[in-house]
Amino acid sequence: MRACRRLPQDPLVPRIVRPAPVGLLINLQTSRYIGIGWPSPTVFPSRNGTSRTLQNGPSTTPFFAYFEWTLAQVARLVDRSMLRVYNLEYDSWQTVYFQRSTVIVTELLLAYALQLFVDSAVISKRAAHAAAISIILSPGLLIIDHIHFQYNGFLYGVLVLSLVLARSRSTLLASGLLFAALLCLKHIYLYLAPAYFVFLLREYCLSPKNILKIRFGNCIKLGGGIAAIVAAAFGPFVAMNQIPQVISRLFPFSRGLCHAYWAPNVWAMYSFMDRVLIYVAPRFGLPLKAEALGSATRGLVGDTAFAVLPEITPRICFILTLVFQAIPLIKLFKSPKWDTFIGSVTLCGYASFLFGWHVHEKAILLVIIPLRSFASTIAATLELLSPWQSRATYPSSPSLHGCRVPHKNSVYHLLARHNPHGV
């Protein structure tokens, strides 16, 4: 086991996580030691306006910080040393088993949501059961959750539960509120928010017989519930005037167009083409930006500059994403059925994956998991699962660090590529 590197203690950061005011939350995020899965603390703003981050890692929304803070109260009973802020490489066996067990236990929510999905199937329970198994045994999810060490199984359990609740009009409100809570758990699900907005607007807030007739009672219930959830998540930060800092960390546009590990999207091809044109441009007299010749998709530490092709801004990404999301959203507004809703969720996630700013490679799961639910009702979509499962698995290979990576990556990739149902 690797020895713990003990760094000097910062007086502005508490040595051990303990029950504290909501303003001080320790978010145990995945560190650069991805193969081992050690937490890298991100300290949310405290009452004195101070915040400290040990490394330039991602930040999550408040509900996930609350979730990790809750786990920390149990972790202190297992091994208090794992909660020391600077123990980035701490790897006691108590820490290993505690962290892995929390992933497994919290992932039971996904199993529960998938069971509800199977029970609510109206066409073929056998197809729904196959889709549920393919989700919970997804190679991409196994890599990210059980090797890379994250809680995506738990988060996708919340998503699937919200999708299942959207199947019945009697639980539409619960579906919308659960999705709002999910956004406060992890803001990557904003990619899917337009589909939820249109579906809830059309099916819950407007009359099914006349779209000009507004159901004010339903609007108040939905709006009030969402406002309460947002207030619970961000209220403490508003009270301490820390919202600008929270927003700057949740939406770090300075990190660049592409992630450190390229997601296989439009901008990866765009960046690759720019790298190729650096060698071709002099032959055709094309101008080169000298300051961009050494640029790369650095992801965590800065922006990306293009030497030949025009620069891409967050606004361009937003417009392109919105344009391509509008195509399924128009159909969803005209036909607010559950199948159409799942298809719109899938395509909204896909458009965001292709054209979004600083897209993480694991964001492809936002496409795969709804697609599998959709495939259980429309057999033709099963043919899409094999290539898409491959796309979901192979980009996650950078999450596998260490000497055991090659054969693990090969096994997972072969399982994903050659099983047409993605199991």
In a domain, 240, yes or no: yes
Q: Report the domain count for the chain.
A: 2
Residues 201 and 345 in one domain: yes
In a domain, 265, yes or no: no
Amino acid at 133: I
Outline where DSSP puts E strands in 32-133: 39-43
Q: Residue 212, exposed/middle/buried by CB under 10 A (0-12, 13-18, 19+)?
A: exposed
46 pLDDT higher than 70? no
Q: Residue 80, exposed/middle/buried by CB under 10 A (0-12, 13-18, 19+)?
A: middle
In a domain, 42, yes or no: yes
Residues 185 and 320 in one domain: yes
How far is C-alpha 261 from the chain's CA centre? 15
Residues 183 and 229 in one domain: yes
Residues 99 and 111 in one domain: no
Domain ends where: 103, 135, 168?
A: 103
Tokens of 58: 């991602």
What does the mean pLDDT of the chain come to?
Answer: 76
pTM of the model: 0.81
CB 13 within 8 A of CB 4: no
26 pLDDT higher than 80? no
In tens, the pLDDT along 319-346 reads 999 999 999 999 999 999 998 999 999 9
Domain ends where: 66, 85, 103?
A: 103
* Mean pLDDT across 77-81: 89
Tokens of 328: 């399924």
In a domain, 350, yes or no: yes
Residues 54 and 116 in one domain: no
Winning range, highest mean pLDDT, from 2-6, 74-78, 79-83, 247-251: 74-78
C-alpha 164/C-alpha 167 separation (Å) is 5
C-alpha 338/C-alpha 95 separation (Å) is 43
Specify the higher pLDDT residue, 96 or 155: 155
Instruction: Tell me which H or E stretch contains 30.
Output: strand 26-30
Residues 190 and 243 in one domain: yes
In a domain, 113, yes or no: yes
Residues 225 and 356 in one domain: yes
In a domain, 307, yes or no: no
Residues 114 and 58 in one domain: no
Longest dimension (CA), the chain: 67
79 pLDDT higher than 80? yes
Give the pLDDT confidence score for residue 244 in this predicted structure.
Answer: 85
Tokens of 207: 């009359």
In tens, the pLDDT along 253-305 reads 777 787 766 678 898 889 888 888 888 888 888 888 877 776 654 444 456 77
In a domain, 292, yes or no: no
C-alpha 202/C-alpha 172 separation (Å) is 11
Domain ends where: 83, 103, 123?
A: 103
In tens, the pLDDT along 192-245 reads 999 999 999 999 999 988 888 999 999 999 999 999 999 999 998 888 888 888
C-alpha 48/C-alpha 240 separation (Å) is 8
CA distance to 145, 236, 260, 346, per residue, from 388 (Å): 19, 41, 22, 12
CB 256 within 8 A of CB 304: yes
Pick from 418, 417, 371, 423: nearest CA to 397? 417
Give the pLDDT confidence score for residue 381 in this predicted structure.
Answer: 55
At residue 43, the 3 state secondary structure works out as: strand
First to last CA, the chain: 33
> Domain range holding 236?
107-252+313-418
In a domain, 284, yes or no: no
Residues 92 and 116 in one domain: no
Residues 71 and 164 in one domain: no
Q: What does DSSP assign to residue 280?
A: H
Residues 96 and 163 in one domain: no
Give the pLDDT confidence score for residue 38 in this predicted structure.
Answer: 35
Give the pLDDT confidence score for residue 321 in this predicted structure.
Answer: 96
Give the pLDDT confidence score for residue 20 in this predicted structure.
Answer: 31
Residues 85 and 208 in one domain: no
